[in-house]
Amino acid sequence: MPAVASHPPDHLVRPLVRALDAYVPGEQPQRGRLIKLNTNENPYPPSLKVIAATRDAVDGRLRLYPDPSAARLRMRLAKHHGCDPANIIVGNGSDELLAVAVRAFAEPASSVSASRQSAATVQYLTPSYSLYPTLAESHGARRNEVPLEADFTLPLPAALRRGRKWDFGAALTFVTTPNAPSGRGYSQEELEYLCSAMEGVVVLDEAYVDFASGNALALALSQPHVLVARTFSKGYSLCFQRVGYVVGHRELIAALAKLRDSYSVNGLGQVAALATLDDLPYYRANVKRIIKTRTRLTGELGALGFEVLPSETNFLLVRPPAPEAATWFTELRARKILVRYFEGSSLSDRLRITVGTDEEVDTLLRAVRAILRSGPSRSR
């Protein structure tokens, strides 16, 4: 019998994959009573109608494949957004569609000549969604990172004219709007200006748009190279079900559809998303509550010495007073409150805090006051 090697030889895994930095999602503890303010989930549950509709769909149908193109859901979404179902593709979370967009629009760098590297370029702002670099790398595409201004505003319009860092020919540009993790919103004029400057596809990632004052859907429906990505995860309390979608020109949508896994959107997710669209006033009320809590949390943290960026999302990016952000993270975790800390990045002096329920926010504020009282140089 041959000896069993303790691990497979390196050459079994492609060098690109061996070198790949995997995306690091926020912690999802499966037990313990933690107040989860680390992954921007909606603190309010799905509506009772959504839960009932989902439960009602759990029967012998589980044997069948779901509708591969989510036709009913696309029809409802088209009606909702005033477009045609052919302008919409539904995915297993918008994350799936972001990955498919990279494969559909960007060449692997190795397959184009040095003079055509823009065709292999995935471009995005930093800091923004940290999934984009992983998607680009995993496809072998070139990355072009465009730094936001120091106050996290878009480098526009003068910087755009100067061409600073932008690759106008980039095959694909991702813009998180409103941005994560800064929480900043961008104006329609800025976005329109930016999109007009780009020759490749622009994906406006509107994961947090339900908490913002405006949206860029009209851009996606008027400019043939602009797509908008939306999700049921954040504004509609449906992370667990993984439903997202992209809106845009039918030809770009058709390109994405060719590459998406045929049955990627599970049947219960489709049912839940449809029921969500039947109960929108419930969700609008939750968004209103979250925005009210966001305003209160912004004010209270500000009064306690935190620097808080204005937010158009369901989270706040804050720079805490002493001690260090890392210590705040640990101290809050010891008090069973989970926030997001970006270790070893340009944001390592900050914390991202999801806006929870009013009770959760009260508990957070009590913990913050206790940590401030106990002094900066304490070890526990």
Binding site for ligand PLP (CB under 6 A): 93-95, 129, 176, 180, 205, 207, 231, 233-234, 239, 244
Strand order in the sheet with 121-126: 88-92, 243-247, 226-231, 201-205, 172-176, 121-126, 142-147
- The nearer residue to ligand PLP, 77 or 367, going by C-beta atoms, is 77
Q: Tokens 């997710």 belong to which residue?
A: 269
- The nearer residue to ligand PLP, 112 or 291, going by C-beta atoms, is 291
**Helix/strand/coil percent split, the chain, to 5:** 45, 15, 40
- The nearer residue to ligand PLP, 118 or 176, going by C-beta atoms, is 176
CA-to-CA distance for 235 and 290, rounded, in angstroms? 10
Provide, rounded to whole angstroms, the least separation between the CB of residue 95 and ligand PLP.
3
Residue 327: partners with Cβ closer than 8 Å, 6 or more residues away: 376
- The nearer residue to ligand PLP, 166 or 174, going by C-beta atoms, is 174
Q: Would you call 123 helix, strand, or coil by DSSP?
A: strand
Q: Please answer whether residues 263 and 65 qualify as being in contact, where contact means their C-beta atoms are separated by less than 8 angstroms.
A: yes
Provide, rounded to whole angstroms, the least separation between the CB of residue 42 and ligand PLP.
11
Provide, rounded to whole angstroms, the least separation between the CB of residue 355 and ligand PLP.
14
Locate 54 and state its tokens: 């989902």
Provide, rounded to whole angstroms, the least separation between the CB of residue 118 and ligand PLP.
24
CA-to-CA distance for 125 and 123, rounded, in angstroms? 7
User: b/e map of 14-49 (b: 16 or more CB within 10 Å)?
Assistant: eeeeeeeeeeeebeeeeeeeebbbbbbbbbbebbee
- The nearer residue to ligand PLP, 117 or 283, going by C-beta atoms, is 283
- The nearer residue to ligand PLP, 94 or 138, going by C-beta atoms, is 94
Provide, rounded to whole angstroms, the least separation between the CB of residue 296 and ligand PLP.
23
Provide, rounded to whole angstroms, the least separation between the CB of residue 207 and ligand PLP.
3
- The nearer residue to ligand PLP, 244 or 267, going by C-beta atoms, is 244
Provide, rounded to whole angstroms, the least separation between the CB of residue 138 and ligand PLP.
16
- The nearer residue to ligand PLP, 125 or 160, going by C-beta atoms, is 125
Q: Tokens 């990955």 belong to which residue?
A: 99
Give the residue nearest to ligand PLP (CB). 93
- Read off φ and ψ for residue 294, nearest 5 degrees: -60, -45
Q: Please answer whether residues 73 and 88 qualify as being in contact, where contact means their C-beta atoms are separated by less than 8 angstroms.
A: no
Provide, rounded to whole angstroms, the least separation between the CB of residue 40 and ligand PLP.
6
Expressed in angstroms, the distance from the first to the final Cα of the chain is 54
The beta-strand segments (E) located in the chain are 35-37, 88-92, 121-126, 142-147, 172-176, 201-205, 226-231, 243-247, 307-308, 315-319, 337-341, 351-354
Provide, rounded to whole angstroms, the least separation between the CB of residue 233 and ligand PLP.
3
Strand partners, 263: none
Q: What angle do CA 352, 48, 34 make, to 5 degrees?
A: 35
- The nearer residue to ligand PLP, 132 or 328, going by C-beta atoms, is 132
